[in-house]
Amino acid sequence: MKLNLVKYRFLFLAISAILLLPGIVAMIYSTITYPTHTPLKVGIDYTGGTTLQYGVKESISNNKLSEVRQDLEKNGIENPYLQIINVNSQQDTDMKAILSIRTKFIAEGSSDQDKITNIMNQEFNAPELVQVSSVGPTLGSELFKNSLIALSLALLGIIAYLTMRFQFDYALAAILGLVHDTLFVCGVFSILGLFYDVQIDALFVTALLTVIGFSVHDTIVVFDRVRENLKYYSKKMTFSEIMNGSVNQTLARSINTSLTTLITLLALYFWGGVTTRDFVLAMILGIAVGTYSSIFFCSTLVDIWEDKKKSTTPVAA
Amino acid sequence: MKNKLILFWVIVAIVIVSIYVICTKPTKLGLDLVGGSRLVLEAQTSKTIAQITPDMMSSLQFAIENRVNKLGVSETVVQRTGDRRLVVEIPDVSDLEQAKAYLGETAELDFRRPVIKNGVEEWEATGLTGKDLSKANLSTNSQNGQWVVDLEFNGEGTKKFADLTKQLVGQPMAIFFNGEMQSAPVIREAITGGRAQISGGDSGFVYEEAKKMVDLLNAGALPVPAKIIEENTVGPTLGADSIAKSKVAGAIGLGFVMLFMALYYRAPGLIADMALIIYGLMLFALFKAIPVTLTLAGIAGFILSIGMAVDANILIFERTKEELKAGRTLFTAINSGFDRAFTSIFDSNMTTIITCAILYCCGTSIVKGFALTLALGVIVSMFSAITITKNFMHLIFGAGKLTHPALFGLRKSDIEEGYQAVETKREKAKFGILD
């Protein structure tokens, strides 16, 4: 298999645009229409919600926990956080454990609360609603802002290092590739939020960090090959030919590396726990698109810039 | 060859040490994975505070978070619940008793002056409090060697303190901490330098006492007194059911990755699998030895670093294959495969390490956990891919010509073409095959 990057360069840019555009539209639409004015539908980690605590007279098994979770989701209580609170033996009560259900804001005595109580009644023998209380966000705006600042600094660090080891062009292309991948993942989750009510939680930030790490890593390997080939072939071949050859040389590696990571993630997606499914999905999407961007998007960008540079520098007489 | 054997035994020793550490040290897992303790704090009204406002709760939450961070109790969740309560969830790994002792303390420091009221001597508040401090430090008195707490005031505090000491020359000034008098030195002259010292009175401070006071002062006073009203142990926030499933799924996933490596890269793939197992053991031992509290974010960093470790091996094998196709002997092909892959492994990993360092320094706790495990993972993976895999490859294949190309997933004709290329087109063989 041999790819022709130069011939189809605008096709690749067009594919990137097609990949990103719907998500960007969804994010703009969401920012305008959501009450939170966020580009993605945010979960209770960001907004806060309600915790209902039910005391039960038996200890709660993992299977029971899964059943309750499924029942809740079937009845329109999305993304509930279920946590077992063990009751101290010294306390004067016949309760063995408390099941804490954390979910979106629910008014006291509302139909949603009745639904949850009904489900608990089906699953347990006479559970007792011990407490209903509102909870604040675990990931407040302050924390979120700090993370963004840290991330921006990290990006500057990447640009500095790559400019030192390669050139500024390459650094910029790598960063644009990373933005490309992050935008794609956010876009898909924005769409999922609009149509399937998928909410992002604190883990989403971690997933994005992983995608960014992978994206840069992947791009550098391609650029490294270009750098090496430039040393030996720059007099005999055009930059485009070298770029094309380098991408083809690293193609097997790019695909295999993504494949191995995707294998692990797919296993986690299909057989892993429900609570981490969206987290894993974000990483799968990001790594898949990251492979695309490092092969097609970043290299095409550098190629086009090099062409521009050549056409603008006057030929020495 | 002798060096290679020595290195091999060094690797064996590292594996044994790693296994020993894994077996003897406990794994520290975060709240999201194993749960921990859950404390409910309730803000208390007092003489001066008649009603708890949402603003007070915000600053109480901030103060508690600040304290928890100062204590180094990692991966703790502080959450508001109801009108006047905070839920603090602390992972099992931390010292709960210590945490409890610190959380409830108001940490109010104030300076008082003597007044005579109705013929009785009393201490009156001066308005100079812990809020006026910029920093507290632990040090020892140079004369008697006792532990003391050094205070540094901020701009306004310096002024207030200077004014106060000017007024009180010749009189005692008392320092109260949480309503208890610590010491009451007699002021000899106005102090304008913005520094003061608390000694523990005649008996002096015990180290723990002084240390705690410094920590609390630096973390800031609680805006409202708070009391621990409930204490329970809790299961993982991600749900015990989900975690049990994910463990199995992760193992299946890794199994598939190893299978893929062996099938696609054949003999070197198997060697890489072995190196990966060693990599996993070393990294896990390192996590336990430091110790790192593993949360799901940390595990994401771990997974990514495994991906990068596999990638390093893939890079090397692809290059080795290319070198073999270009007509190199096994020994040189392996060596130059490693050498040529090295720059890309180095640069991509350096970028990751730089990113992690920045995220670790400036990030919040989720980001920190991720950055730490990823950085450790990447550092160990460089060692694993470059040192371990290379050593095993050399020991197993030795030097000489590759007699069974299938071991590398190559055809005989691939290699023969390479040998011809050496004779016909030297340059092509020298610098890979770019056509």
Distance CA A61, CA A83 (A): 12
Same-domain check for residues A17 and A165: yes
For the segment(s) B109-207, the CATH number from 3.10.580.10, 1.20.120.530, 3.30.450.40, 3.30.1360.200 is: 3.30.1360.200
Question: A53: closest CA among A130, A145, A116?
Answer: A130
Q: Flag whether residue B358 sits within 8 Å of chain A, measured between CB atoms.
A: yes
Distance CA B427, CA B435 (A): 12
B220: tokens are 């800031």
Distance CA A132, CA A17 (A): 47
Please give the full DSSP string across B378-404, using - where no structure is assigned.
HHHHHIIIIIIIHHHHHHHH-SS--S-
Q: Flag whether residue A213 sits within 8 Å of chain B, measured between CB atoms.
A: yes
Q: Which of the listed residues A118, A135, A152 is the one where a domain comes to its end?
A: A135
B299: tokens are 């595990």
Domain annotation covers residue A44: no
Is B242's CB within 8 Å of A272's CB? yes
Q: Flag whether residue B322 sits within 8 Å of chain A, measured between CB atoms.
A: yes
Q: Flag whether residue B428 sits within 8 Å of chain A, measured between CB atoms.
A: no
The predicted pLDDT at position A219 comes to: 92
Distance CA A240, CA A301 (A): 11
Identity of the amino acid at B120: V
Same-domain check for residues A236 and A144: yes
A158: tokens are 């990447």
Is A206's CB within 8 Å of B300's CB? yes
Q: Which of the listed residues A115, A135, A155 is the one where a domain comes to its end?
A: A135
Same-domain check for residues A119 and A242: no
**In CATH, what is the architecture of B36-105+227-234?**
2-Layer Sandwich (3.30)
Same-domain check for residues A62 and A89: yes
The predicted pLDDT at position A299 comes to: 92
Q: Where are the beta strands (DSSP E) in B328-417?
A: none
Which helix (DSSP H) or strand (DSSP E) does residue B78 occupy? strand B77-81
Distance CA A166, CA A186 (A): 29
A236 contact partners, CB below 8 Å, separation of at least 6: none
Is it true that the peptide bond before B172 is cis, omega within 30 degrees of 0? Answer: no
A136, A149, A220 member nearest B348 (Cβ): A220
Distance from CA of B160 to the nearest CA of A (A): 32
Is A263's CB within 8 Å of B235's CB? no
∠ at Cα A54 (A51, A60), nearest 5°?
115
Q: Flag whether residue A266 sits within 8 Å of chain B, measured between CB atoms.
A: yes
Please give the full DSSP string across A40-88, using - where no structure is assigned.
S-B-HHHH-EEEEEEEESSPPPHHHHHHHHHHHHHTT--S-EEEEEEPP
B70: tokens are 């100062």
The tens digit of pLDDT for each residue in A183-194 reads 999 999 999 999
Which helix (DSSP H) or strand (DSSP E) does residue B113 occupy? strand B109-117
Which helix (DSSP H) or strand (DSSP E) does residue B282 occupy? helix B240-289
Please give the full DSSP string across A222-233, using - where no structure is assigned.
HHHHHHHHHHHH
Identity of the amino acid at B86: L
Same-domain check for residues A163 and A210: yes
Distances (CA, A) of A19 to A24, A71, A180, A183, A296: 10, 35, 9, 10, 13
- The whole-angstrom distance between residue B58's C-alpha and the CA centroid of its chain comes to 27
- Provide mean pLDDT across the span A60-74: 86
Domain annotation covers residue A3: no
B63: tokens are 């103060």
> How many angstroms separate the first and last alpha carbons of chain A?
41
Same-domain check for residues A35 and A59: no
Q: Which domain holds residue A247?
A: 9-39+140-312
Domain annotation covers residue A126: yes
Q: Where in chain B is the domain with CATH 3.30.1360.200?
A: 109-207
B79, B236, B300 member nearest A138 (Cβ): B79
The predicted pLDDT at position B424 comes to: 45
Same-domain check for residues A189 and A286: yes
Distance CA A180, CA A212 (A): 10
* DSSP symbol at A315: P
Distance CA B234, CA B9 (A): 45
Identity of the amino acid at B223: P
The tens digit of pLDDT for each residue in A253-278 reads 888 888 888 988 898 899 888 888 88
The tens digit of pLDDT for each residue in A148-174 reads 888 888 899 999 999 999 999 999 999
> Please, are residues B292 and B75 in contact by the beta-carbon 8 Å criterion?
no
A66 contact partners, CB below 8 Å, separation of at least 6: A274, B241, B242
Is it true that the peptide bond before B291 is cis, omega within 30 degrees of 0? Answer: yes
- The whole-angstrom distance between residue B348's C-alpha and the CA centroid of its chain comes to 22
Q: Flag whether residue A85 sits within 8 Å of chain B, measured between CB atoms.
A: yes
Q: What percent of chain B has pLDDT over 90?
A: 7
> Please, are residues B432 and A226 in contact by the beta-carbon 8 Å criterion?
no
Q: What percent of chain A has pLDDT over 90?
A: 29
Distance CA B130, CA B106 (A): 11
Distance CA A220, CA B376 (A): 20
∠ at Cα B127 (B126, B129), nearest 5°?
110
Distance CA B296, CA B300 (A): 6
The predicted pLDDT at position A297 comes to: 93
Task: Give me the sheet containing B109-117, strands edge to edge.
Answer: B120-129, B109-117, B174-177, B180-183
* DSSP symbol at B386: I
Distance CA A210, CA A286 (A): 8
Is B238's CB within 8 Å of A256's CB? no
Distance CA B230, CA B40 (A): 5
A59: tokens are 């200890």
> Please, are residues B352 and B308 in contact by the beta-carbon 8 Å criterion?
yes
Is A158's CB within 8 Å of B351's CB? yes
Q: Flag whether residue A228 sits within 8 Å of chain B, measured between CB atoms.
A: yes
Q: Does residue A62 register a pLDDT over 80?
A: yes
List the CATH number of the domain containing A65: 3.30.70.3220
* CATH (residue range B2-29+238-430): 1.20.1640.10
Distance from CA of A95 to the nearest CA of B (A): 13
| pLDDT tens-digit profile, chain B (435 residues) | 678 889 899 999 999 999 999 999 888 888 888 888 888 888 888 777 778 888 888 888 888 877 776 665 566 778 888 788 888 888 765 567 777 777 777 777 888 888 887 777 788 888 888 778 888 888 888 777 788 888 888 888 888 888 888 888 888 888 888 777 877 888 878 888 888 888 776 677 788 778 778 877 777 777 787 888 878 888 887 877 877 888 888 888 888 888 998 898 888 888 889 988 999 899 989 988 888 888 887 887 887 788 888 888 888 888 888 888 877 778 888 888 888 888 888 998 998 999 888 888 877 767 788 888 889 999 998 888 888 888 888 888 776 666 677 777 777 766 666 555 544 444 444 444 444
Q: Which residue's entry shows tokens 């590398």?
A: B408
B35, B85, B318 member nearest A253 (Cβ): B318
Domain annotation covers residue A15: yes
Other CB atoms closer than 10 Å to residue A317's CB: what's the count? 3
Domain annotation covers residue A317: no
Other CB atoms closer than 10 Å to residue A231's CB: what's the count? 8
The predicted pLDDT at position B431 comes to: 45
The predicted pLDDT at position B425 comes to: 47
- Residues of chain B contacting residue A264, judged by C-beta atoms under 8 Å apart: 250, 253-254, 256-257, 303, 306-307
> Please, are residues A99 and A54 in contact by the beta-carbon 8 Å criterion?
yes
Q: Where in chain B is the domain with CATH 3.30.70.3400?
A: 36-105+227-234
Tell me how many helices (H) and strands (E) chain A has: 10, 4
The band of A287, judged by pLDDT with boundaries at 50, 70 and 90, is very high
Same-domain check for residues A159 and A269: yes
Q: Flag whether residue B20 sits within 8 Å of chain A, measured between CB atoms.
A: no
Q: Is the dihedral of CA A23, A5, A296, A315 positive or negative?
A: negative
Is B314's CB within 8 Å of A210's CB? no
Whole-angstrom Cα Rg for chain B:
32
Other CB atoms closer than 10 Å to residue B405's CB: what's the count? 18
Identity of the amino acid at A111: S
B236, B253, B264 member nearest A264 (Cβ): B253
The tens digit of pLDDT for each residue in A241-251 reads 888 889 988 88
Distance CA A228, CA A166 (A): 11
Is B435's CB within 8 Å of A245's CB? yes
Distance CA B234, CA B77 (A): 13
Same-domain check for residues A216 and A78: no
Which ranges of chain A does DSSP label H, i.e. alpha helix?
A: 9-33, 44-47, 62-74, 111-123, 141-165, 168-196, 202-233, 239-271, 277-292, 298-312
Distance CA A198, CA A207 (A): 15
List the CATH number of the domain containing A254: 1.20.1640.10
Identity of the amino acid at B207: Y
Domain annotation covers residue A295: yes
Other CB atoms closer than 10 Å to residue B178's CB: what's the count? 15
- Residues of chain B contacting residue A86, judged by C-beta atoms under 8 Å apart: 232-235
Same-domain check for residues A215 and A116: no
The tens digit of pLDDT for each residue in A94-144 reads 778 888 888 888 877 788 888 888 888 888 888 888 888 888 777 767 777
Same-domain check for residues A65 and A98: yes
Residue of B33, B238, B258 to mutate when probing chain A, most A C-beta within 10 A:
B238
Distances (CA, A) of A51 to A84, A129, A151, B248: 12, 11, 32, 30
Instruction: Give the CB-side neighbour count of residue B263, counting CA atoms within 13 A.
Output: 8
Domains in chain A, number: 2
Distance from CA of A126 to the nearest CA of B (A): 21
Same-domain check for residues A68 and A124: yes
As for the ipTM of the complex, it is 0.81
> Please, are residues A101 and A82 in contact by the beta-carbon 8 Å criterion?
yes
Domain annotation covers residue A4: no
Question: A227: closest CA among A279, A266, A170?
Answer: A170
Distance from CA of B39 to the nearest CA of A (A): 11
Q: Which residue's entry shows tokens 């992050």?
A: A182
Q: Which residue's entry shows tokens 């040189």?
A: B332
User: Angle at which helices B330-362 and B296-325 pack, to 10 degrees?
Assistant: 160
